[in-house]
Structure formats: structure tokens, C-alpha cells
Structure 1
Amino acid sequence: MNYSHEIIMPNDDIPFKMFVFEGRRGNYSREKHWHRSVEIFALFEGEIEFYVNEIKYSLNPGEFMLVNSNEIHSIHSPKENFTVVLQIPLTTFERYYTDEKFIYFTHSRRIHDEEFMQVIRDMYDAYEKKEIGYDLKVQSYFYELIYLLVSKYREVSVDSEMIRSNKKLNKLSAITAYMKENYTKDLSLESLAQTFGYSSTYLSRMFQKYAKTNYKNYLDDIRLEHAYKDLVNSDMPIGMIASQNGFPNSKAFTKVFQKKYNKLPSEFRKEL
């Protein structure tokens, strides 16, 4: 099968998204983040390293990672890979919620894993060929996948702390969305807390306890992700990249970049 291009499923004709992982060329990292949708990474070629709630998972070809709603995860793909990513709205599973609009799927391997991967492969293949009625064929595979999820991978017994963490991350999602929209501005912890009606101490604790990171690191990661793209895809001076992505100066940007990539931005750019 030829996997040669990135595909994003249109939102207006199917009930989910499917695309090729943006880190397919390797040397790619996606820092800690979370979202409401259920996300599946199906690896067919290469290798990927996952961290989900501080636990490391190494994927080999034929394996997948299932990321639950509001699970904190990061991704590292050091080498080239072919990975199909599915993003499924949480509301797809509303008839199967266990409590507090909550549903949880296991990360453990199951005897149905091979069947699960085959469904994803067939779904992608059907979309790529675009034969008459392909959208119906894709959706038929999609519902087969949903059936496997709720019947073979859903965990019925979940502890109260997991549900509590899920609710807190729902609240944090609004805050982090605001941060992602305003990362170029001077976003202090105090001003952000005031915007959302919290004390700075309480907001700081929310990040530490439920996002497993501190506020400053989270903001630096957002800014670094955008600055990295400018560094790779433009000829802008380092200082300009820093200022346009919210860093107070080039020294602050260099410090964060070097901590992440073990190189100065200028050295990294020369190697590219």
C-alpha cells in the first residue's frame, strides 16, 4: 500500500478526523498536552515513543497507542515513521459513559490488537482510493472500530481520583486554549489567574497536580513549538524569532531551546 501524502478527513462528511502523523520524517517531538477527543496512533512503519501520564510506551510496527480524553501525553519520533492518527470526538461514546460523562480505554495489549490495526489500515486504504461510495465504506470501518473500543477496550471500573483529574483538566483546557491563542503576549501567572477568577497559587497547584507540569514550562513549550517552526522554515534572525513568539529576549529563547535540543538555535539551524 502506498502511504505518500498527508490526509485530513473533512469534518463535514464524516464524524472523525484521520491523518498521517506530522512527525513522519523523524526528529520530531510534541510536548505534554491533552484534549477532549479520544486519539489513536496506529504505527505501521518505524518507531515512536509515547509518554502517557508519565509512563513510557515504545511503539513498534503493528502496534497502536490509545490516548483517552484529558490524558496528558507527549510524543517523540526520532526516526522516519508511518503512523495513522485518528481523533474521535468524545460525544461519540456518550451512550457508554461510566460516570460524570467519563469513559476510559485501556492501554494494555489485547488479543484484538491485530484486528484493530487491520480495521484502521482498511479504513485509510478505502479513503485513499476514493472509489464510489468510499465515504460510506470508511464510516462502516469507523463504526466497527468504535464497536471494538466499547466492547473490548473499555474499562468499566474507574477510580474516583481519575474522574476528579478528568474534571480538573476540563477546566484547565479553557485556560490552556487561551494560552495557545495569546502565547506571543506577556502572560504572567498572576494575570492569567485573574482572567479566569483564580488565585495565582491555586492555578499554579492545578498545573502541578493535574497537568504534571508547571505553568512556566507549559507556556515555554507552546512558544518553543512555534519558534522551532520559524527556525526551520525561515531565515529570520534568532532575536526576531524569540520576540515574535513571546520570549522576552533571545537569551531566554536560547536557554529553553538548548534545554530541549541540547544545541544552540544557531547550531541547530546550521546543521539543517
Structure 2
Amino acid sequence: MEFQHELVIPDEGLPFKFFLFEGSQGNYVREKHWHTSIEIFAVMEGSLTFYLNDEKHPLKAGELMIINSNEVHSIDSPEENHTAVLQIPLKQFEDYFTAHRFIRFAANEQETDSQLWRLIREMYKLYGKRGTGYEFKIRSFYYDVLYLLVNHYRLDEAGEQEVRHSRRLDALARITSYMREHYQEELKLTDVANMFGYSDAYLSRMFQKYANVNFKTYLQDIRMTYAYRELLNSDKTISQIAMDNGFSSSRAFTREFQKRYGILPSEVEREK
């Protein structure tokens, strides 16, 4: 399988991740990938094309696309566009799962799609301004989105083949969820493999096959994501940030940071 698992971490202080699609300037392709979160793309301006399970879905302004958990998809963005992306952790829907920790959402009537699109547009406006108390208002729109999804988009049944496909990816998703919850600890491949009943070799192959990276790289991705957030939003020292996020030393953190971002952590601190 030639696709990657995308790491999705909610925005700080909010139960979801919300952002402007990175292909807004055009001439951009996001290769095949998957994630456990539910994802909604809502095009504000311009257009782009989704490939969902190899089916082509062109989108223009005023339209949206719902990506289910563990659905492999890619995106072609040749022209400029403004597209809001809402990523919802799967656990938000625990009370509505079918068997096997499974839930699916499907396209709905145009009137309902328009209603959902307008809610995300309002979230987009609030998120851009981030005025006083915006977190309260954006949450209200977010919960309206969840209400629409479970009442108008949720499928009560799913095909057996679809469930089997999701199970294969869900096995790795449970492991990566555990890693996100314990990334500050010393996590070793052997310990994680034993915890989930796998051999070291099998777990290594699972990461390479379904996440397209090895165990260590995936763990470093998690640690760096949280460390970078702290670097931007806290007054902690670089050494403290390194230790709090699972790095063995500030030197190891600095080395990894420079390799990924091309600058030193201290340069980010000076720009705050």
C-alpha cells in the first residue's frame, strides 16, 4: 500500500483541529493518505479535486467533502483556493458507533450540505479573527456540526468489506493513539509491541506498510509537534520543553528541530 497515515492533533484548548488547506496557492498535490479523524473540507473560494477510494470528486466554492475515518484519499489543487478544513477526533462519536468501533457518514441532500457548509464558514470567519471569547462561539458552531453529522449524515449500517478494510487500519490507529497519550514517556518498540500482542518485527512492518514511516520517526513526529507548539506558546526554556516532550536532552531536541525546520529553536524564541 503506497499511502501514509496522517498525524492529527487537535488545536490547543479545543476538541478539534481547524485550519486553512495548505494547497491554497495552487500547484499542489496531497498524495494518498488516511487518518482516524473525520475530516470535512469546505471550499470557500476557487476549486480543487478529491480522489476518494480512487473516485474523482471535483469541488467548487460552496461545496464540501466528508472524509471518513480510515478512508484513503488524495487531493489535487492546481488553482488558487480558500478551503477550510475541520478534523474531528473519532472519539467524539463513541456513543454512535456501530459494531467494531465503526461509524460512517455519507453525502446528503443539497439543502443539508449547504447548512453544514455555512456552519464551517462561520467557524472559518471566527478562527481567522480570533477575537475575545472566540473559543466559546466556535465551539457552539462545532457542536452544531456534530449534531448535523449524527442526525443527517450517519449511516446505520456498513458493508462487511468496508468494515474489514477499516479494521486493518484501525489496529495501527489504536497503537498511534496510545503513543500520542504517552509520548512524554520513554516508549520503546518492544514495549509497545508486547502491549498490543505483536512481535517487534510485525509492528515494524505494520508502521512501514500503513504509515509509510518507521516507529521511531512516527514517535518523533508526535513529540516534535507538541514541542513546537510549546515553543511558540509558552515561556519554558528549550531544555524544559525538550524534557517535557520526551526528548533525551536539549541537544537531541535541537538537532531534530533543525533537521525538520531548517532553523534552531532559539531562533523561534527570538521571533516571539
TM range (shorter): 0.5 to 0.7
What residue identity is the alignment partner of 1:168?
A: R
Q: In the aligned structure 1, how far is the partner of 2:69 from the partner of 2:141? A: 22
Deviation at 1:109, TM superposition (A): 4.8
- Is 2:100 the counterpart of 1:100? yes
SS at match of 1:26: coil
Q: Judging changes above 3 Å, is the alpha-carbon distance between structure 1 residues 199 and 138 closer, same or farther for their aligned structure 2 residues?
A: closer
Q: Judging changes above 3 Å, is the alpha-carbon distance between structure 1 residues 70 and 196 closer, same or farther for their aligned structure 2 residues?
A: farther
What residue identity is the alignment partner of 2:141?
A: Y
Q: In the aligned structure 1, how far is the partner of 2:70 from the partner of 2:141? A: 25
SS at match of 1:142: helix
Give 1:37's aligned residue: 37
TM-score (norm 2): 0.61
SS at match of 2:111: coil
**Residue ranges of structure 1 left out of the alignment (5+ in a row):** 1-7, 178-192, 220-243, 246-272
**Residue ranges of structure 2 left out of the alignment (5+ in a row):** 1-7, 178-197, 214-258, 261-272
Contact 2:37-2:88 within 8 A present in 1 as well: yes
Q: Judging changes above 3 Å, is the alpha-carbon distance between structure 1 residues 157 and 59 closer, same or farther for their aligned structure 2 residues?
A: same
Question: After TM superposition, which residue ranges in structure 1, 4 or more long, deviate above 4 angstroms?
Answer: 172-177
Give 1:197's aligned residue: 202
Q: In the aligned structure 2, how far is the partner of 1:27 from the partner of 1:111? A: 32
Contact 1:18-1:85 within 8 A present in 2 as well: yes
Give 1:90's aligned residue: 90
SS at match of 2:202: coil
What residue identity is the alignment partner of 1:197?
A: Y
SS at match of 1:136: helix
Give 1:121's aligned residue: 121
Q: In the aligned structure 2, how far is the partner of 1:140 from the partner of 1:91? A: 18
Q: Deviations over 1:37-70 (max 9, x none)?
A: 1111111111111111111100011011100000
SS at match of 1:111: helix
Q: Judging changes above 3 Å, is the alpha-carbon distance between structure 1 residues 142 and 175 closer, same or farther for their aligned structure 2 residues?
A: closer
Q: In the aligned structure 1, how far is the partner of 2:41 from the partner of 2:113? A: 13
Deviation at 1:83, TM superposition (A): 0.3
What residue identity is the alignment partner of 1:133?
A: G
- Is 2:18 the counterpart of 1:13? no
What residue identity is the alignment partner of 2:170?
A: N
Contact 2:16-2:86 within 8 A present in 1 as well: yes
Count of residue correspondences: 188
SS at match of 2:19: strand
The CA RMSD over aligned residues, in Å, is 3.2
